[in-house]
Structure 1
Amino acid sequence: MLLKEAKLLVVGELGTGKSSLVERLTVDRFTREHRASEGIVVHQWPRRIGDEDVFVRVWDFGSQEILNQSYRFFLTNHTLSLLVLDARRDSSHNKEEDWLNTLHAVGEDIPVIVVVNHSDTQPLSPLREEVLKERFPQVVALLKTSCETNEGIEALKATIVAQLEVMVSGSPSAPSHYVALRDALESETRDYLSDADFTRLCVSQGIQTDAQQHEQSLLLTERGHTLHFDSPELYRTHVLRPEWATEAVGAVLRWPDLRSSYKGVLERAHLALCLDAHRYPVETHEFLLALLTKFEIAIPLEATTPSKFLVPQLLSTDEPALPDVRGALRFEYHYDRLPPACLPLFIAKAHRFVEKRTWWRTGVILKRGDNRALVRTDENKQRMELLVTGPEVGRRELLAFLREDLRHVHMSFSETVIDEMIYASDDEKISRQPLLLEDLRQLSNAGETEYAAPGVGRVSLQELLQRYVIPEIPAEEELPAALPVPELTAEERQVEAERLAREQQKQIEEHNARVKQQEKRADKVSVVLEQQAAAYADRWIRLLLAYPLVLLGGMFVAIFALGWRETLPWKRQNLVGLVQNGWHAMAAWTWLIPLVGMIVAIFYGIWTKQNPDSDPLRRRLYESQRRKLFEKNGILR
Structure 2
Amino acid sequence: NEWPLSWFRAKAQLEQMNEPRISYEAFEGVCRDAGVQGEVSREVLGDFLHDLGIVIHFSDFGLDDNHVLDPKWVTGAVYKIINAESVAAGKGLLRLDALKEVLRPEEGDAYKYRRVDHHYIIKLMKKFELCYELEGGEVLIPQLLAVPQPSFDFPYEGALCFVLHYADFLPPSVMPRFIVKRHQEIKDRLRWRTGVVLKHPQLEATAVVRADNEARRIHIAVTGKERKVYLALIWLSLREINIGFEGLRVSERVPLPDNPAVSVAYETLLDYAEQGLEKIIPENTKKAYSVRELLNAVHPDSQSDGENMLALARDDKEKGRLRKFGKGLNKYFDVEVNLFGVKFDYKTFFDDILSKGE
Per the alignment, residue 378 of structure 1 pairs with 212
Gap change, CA 1:348 and 1:308, over 3 Å in 2 = farther
Q: CA RMSD in A?
A: 5.1
Cα gap change, 1:399 to 1:376, in 2 (>3 Å)? farther
State the partner residue of 2:147: 317
The letter of the residue matching 1:287 is Y
Is 2:119 the partner of 1:280? no
Are the structure 2 counterparts of residues 456 and 244 from structure 1 closer, same or farther at C-alpha, using a change threshold of 3 Å?
Answer: same
8 Å contact from structure 1 (residues 328, 387) kept in 2: no
Going by fraction, where is helix more abundant, 1 or 2? 1
Shift of 1:268: 6.3
TM-score (norm 1): 0.37
Shift in alpha-carbon separation, 1:402–1:285, aligned structure 2, 3 A? farther
C-alpha distance in 1 between matches for 2:31 and 2:307: 55
* One-letter amino acid matched to 1:293: K
Q: Check conservation: 2:57, 2:68, Cα contact below 8 A.
A: no
Distance change >3 Å, CA 172–CA 334, structure 1 → 2: same
1:229 aligns with 2:43: no
Give the letter aligned to residue 333 of structure 1: L
Residue 397 (structure 1) aligns with = 226
Partner of 2:92: 264
Amino acid at match of 1:354: I
> Are positions 1:332 and 2:163 aligned together?
yes
Cα displacement string for residues 189-244 of structure 1 (whole angstroms, at most 9, x for unaligned residues): x55332223444666x66574589779978988999x7442544545324456664
C-alpha displacement at 1:332, in angstroms?
Answer: 0.9
1:293 aligns with 2:122: no
Return the alpha-carbon distance in structure 1 between the equivalents of residues 69 and 285 of structure 2.
63
Change in 2 beyond 3 A, CA 1:351/1:447: same
- The answer to whether the Cα contact below 8 Å between 1:328 and 1:426 also exists between their aligned partners in 2 is no
| Aligned match of 1:351 | 183
After TM superposition, the structure 1 = structure 2 runs for residues 505-516 of structure 1, keeping only pairs within 5 Å, are: none
Q: Distance in 2 between matches of 1:311 and 1:482?
A: 24
The whole-number CA distance in structure 2 between the counterparts of 1:264 and 1:213 is 38
1:421-440 mapped onto 2 (5 Å cutoff):
421-427=253-259, 432-440=261-269
2:341 equivalent in structure 1: none
Task: State the match for 2:351 in structure 1.
Answer: none
Q: 1:344 to 1:464 in 2, by over 3 A?
A: same
Which residue, 457, 462, 467 being the options, matches 2:287?
457
Task: Give the distance between the partners of 2:313 and 2:272, measured in 1 at CA.
Answer: 36
The 5 Å alignment of 1:102-117 reads: none
CA distance in 2, matches of 1:175, 1:475: 46
Q: Is the 8 A contact 1:334 1:421 kept in 2?
A: yes
The secondary structure found in structure 1 opposite 2:191 is: strand
CA distance 1:196–1:447, shift in 2 (3 Å):
closer
- Structure 2 CA distance for aligned equivalents of residues 484 and 175 of structure 1: 33
The alpha carbon displacement at 1:251 in A equals: 4.0
Confirm or deny: 8 A CA contact 2:198 2:206 kept in the other structure. yes
Q: 1:310 to 1:474 in 2, by over 3 A?
A: farther
Contact 1:374 1:387 in 2 (8 A): yes
- Provide the secondary structure at the position in 2 that maps to 1:420: strand
Q: Contact 2:10/2:34 (CA < 8 Å) preserved in 1?
A: no
Q: Unpaired segments of 5 or more residues in structure 2?
A: 106-111, 320-358
Does residue 195 of structure 1 match 2:24?
Answer: yes
Is residue 165–residue 217 contact of structure 2 (8 Å, CA) maintained in 1?
A: yes
SS in 1 for 2:17: helix
Instruction: Kindly indicate whether the alpha-carbon contact (under 8 Å) linking 2:145 and 2:193 is maintained by their aligned counterparts in 1.
Output: yes
Check whether the contact 1:181–1:202 (CA below 8 A) recurs between aligned residues.
no
Q: TM-score, normalised by structure 2?
A: 0.59
1:237 is aligned with what amino acid? N
CA shift, 1:378, in A, is 2.9
Distance change >3 Å, CA 273–CA 358, structure 1 → 2:
farther
Residue type of the partner of 1:355? Answer: K
> What amino acid maps onto 1:386 in structure 2?
I
1:401 Cα shift? 0.5
Match of 2:74 in 1: 245
DSSP-derived class of the 1:423 partner: strand
Query: Does the CA-based 8 Å contact 2:129-2:180 persist in structure 1?
Result: no
Deviation of 1:363 (Å): 1.8
Label 1:180 to 1:352 Cα distance change in 2 as closer, same or farther (>3 A).
closer
For 1:295 and 1:222, the matched residues in 2 are separated by 15
Residues 356/207 of structure 1: CA separation in 2 closer, same or farther (3 Å cut): same
Aligned-pair distance for 1:372? 5.0
Letter in 1 for 2:92: G
8 Å CA contact 2:20–2:70 kept in 1: the answer is: yes
> Is the contact between residue 292 and residue 298 of structure 1 (CA under 8 Å) also seen in structure 2?
yes
**Residue number in structure 2 paired with 1:411:** 240
Answer whether contact 1:199 1:213 (CA < 8 A) is retained. yes
Quote how far apart the aligned CAs of 1:387 are: 3.0
The Cα shift of 1:353 comes to 3.7
Counterpart Cα distance in 2 of 1:321 and 1:366:
14
Using the aligned pairs only, state the percent identity.
Answer: 25
Which entry has the higher C-alpha Rg, 1 or 2?
1
**Code of the aligned partner of 2:211:** T
Return the offset for 1:338.
Answer: 3.5
Aligned residues: 298
